[in-house]
Structure 1
Amino acid sequence: MRILHTSDWHIGRTFHGHSTLDALAEVLHALVAQVREHEVDVVIVAGDVFDSATPAASAYTLLDEALLALHATGATVIVTSGNHDSAARLGFHSRLLRDGIHVLTDPRAIATPVTVHDEHGPVQFFGIPYLEPAIVRQHWVDADGAGPTLRTQAQTMAHAMDLVRAGMDAHPGRSVAVAHCFAAGVDATVGLEREVRQGGLDVVPLTTFDGPDYVALGHIHGRQQLSDRVRYSGAPLHYSFGEQHKERGSWLVELDAEGLVSTEWIALPVPRPLVTLTGTLDEILAHPDAAQYAESWVCAVYTDAVPQHEPMRRLRERFPFCAMVQHAPAERTDAAEHSYAQRLRTAVTDTDRIEAFLVHVRAGHGPTERESELIREVLDDRVRAEALV
């Protein structure tokens, strides 16, 4: 059996204010072609199908088109929900979907697999939707209100995998688990979800996933191999400049009669490459490869000592798809190490206060000689005006 493992489509996400629907549609079209080319039997989408719990109508349209196209290849499609999805909305039409498309969003059904047969017998697919402990613990209490302790996602995922292993005992055959979480062993430097970076890491130990022949994970936007049989596929598009060096693609997984045989990375096209250019604003504008980056998303990090006038407008004249500008001075003076409040405490005159402000907003660089002259002229004019009142 051949399985294609993908995840984190994030349908509806914008990239620095720009829609990604057309780009994602192009990539998913390529993914469908790969499913047909490699004669894939099962396609797994491991959570975060949508980017929002309330996706726009256009997002639903793209999902419908993608699922129908995948179904038309003859593959079975298995979808689970992620932390960005509304499990209720994503699963609303699950009973109405045609045979061969399964949307698994109910935590109460974790132990009940989707069974797909090949020449070697059944393969059991167990879908674990994203589990928020405070929300899902109610599903696993008895009549007396007793149940497992589920305060963290690690504890909740451990309980879910116990249910999977119970399901494996009840449904013999090879097995695949699908989940959406942050697992121990992930490279945490790039490709993390916004919420993971901001809210901290609730790490699920790798041993939690013992049992199945393969575990298809979602939640991390760069591909990761935690073991031969536990992997992240990452997102099909680059959704931040921090992901720009991560390949986009899916894992092609093959099972034989005994279980996992092989995994192969299948790369996806990148509709618009991402590039980060660093230097002074003039250096970036005069970059020798500017023509090469004319069709790329550009992040410009300019290192001038002081902020430049209208940098985005000037950059877009050179790079039409400049999406982000950052000011990162190459050098900071000793004055930049003091807080604004500290500098104000030592300021005596209005000139001192203005200079303290300029040092604060210019990474330690005070007024130029010409600016100092203008400041003195303005302050002198103010004193003369007050004297006439």
Structure 2
Amino acid sequence: MNSTLQRVWRRRLIGLRSLLVLCLALALLVLQQIARAPASLEPLLWLAALLLPNLIALASLNTRRQQRLLALELTLDVVIFVGLLQQLGGAGNPLSFYLLVPLLLGALTLGRGAALWLLVVTLGGYLLATLWHSAPPAHSTLHALTRELSHTHGLGMGVVFVALALLLTALGQVIQSLARQQQRQHDRLLELAGRRERLYQVAATLAHQAHELNTPLSSLVMLADNAAREPGLPQSTRDDLAQIEALARRVAARLRNVDADSLPERPAYRTLMERVRDHLRHLHPTLALSVSGPEGQCFNDGAAWFRVLANLGYNAIDAGAERLDVRLAALPGGGWLLQVSDDGPDHPERRAEEGLGVGLALVESTLAALGATLTLRFERQWSQARIEWSEHDA
């Protein structure tokens, strides 16, 4: 057990000893007053001696060797209380079972060696108080509690005391072992959670960088293609532009097609959205993605649709969204509507000016190739992308 918990136990022992001494002292004084017997100082002195471990505890609460000091205090508790029992009639006094209290505290807080040592001291002190004790006068106030009992009764009390001492020691050690095991499991779970969180952060960083790299690469492809169409360019310049476009296309394809490679050519709506959900989970593990609509509806060119939905998801996450809602519905006049909404509160004015962050031109160009159109709506709580296409383009 760590030093903090042992420090707590030592503070509780201070209060327990003080309360015990106060109660016993008051009980002795009341009995002496009732019986009008002469006051005896020896029991009171032994009671005062029970406060000695308190002085040690108060002087060493902030030291590092808490376990050794706690073992010393509990040992002194047992030894001093055995001396008190010797004055009060020995082990026949019902107060002798108080010796089980420091024994149990030691079993719950100390190591196996210290707990066994305390068990030996407790049993030895109980045996000593049984064989050697002072019998009070026949007409004293303590005689009713400390009178000599029969040999058989004393033997039975001894057997019960030893059995309880062994049981409490074993029980305390088992509880302490289970507590350590539970603490180790808790620490292991915290470590695994920390590792998982770090992996999520690494994945999010890599996904964000891939998204940010994909946008300028795709823009470079479009610029190179537009520049190559300009009349009057030398052939060498056209060759350089063609090489730039090919390299940019290759890198951009690697960045955006990692999760789309295994998609079928015409995936079902459910299959497409499950792949998007798995992909976005790496970037934002707590993003709540809700999907509604006909799950069996198929999409032409699954890789292109995956890129569109992934880019919309990237932009929602960049805006701080916690919820992403995707709905597919048939239009009354024929065709389909795919509505993607997010609750990203980050800078709605900026998003309204720039579109859904970076990559809007890529989304629009991909949708144009698919025969679909994109309409954007921005509100205080929600940003919405409406994608519409005709029946034959689906």
TM-score by length of 2: 0.27
Structure whose residues are more often strand by fraction: 1
**Bigger relative contact order, structure 1 or 2 (CA pairs below 8 A, ≥6 apart):** 1
TM-score by length of 1: 0.27
Structure whose residues are more often helix by fraction: 2
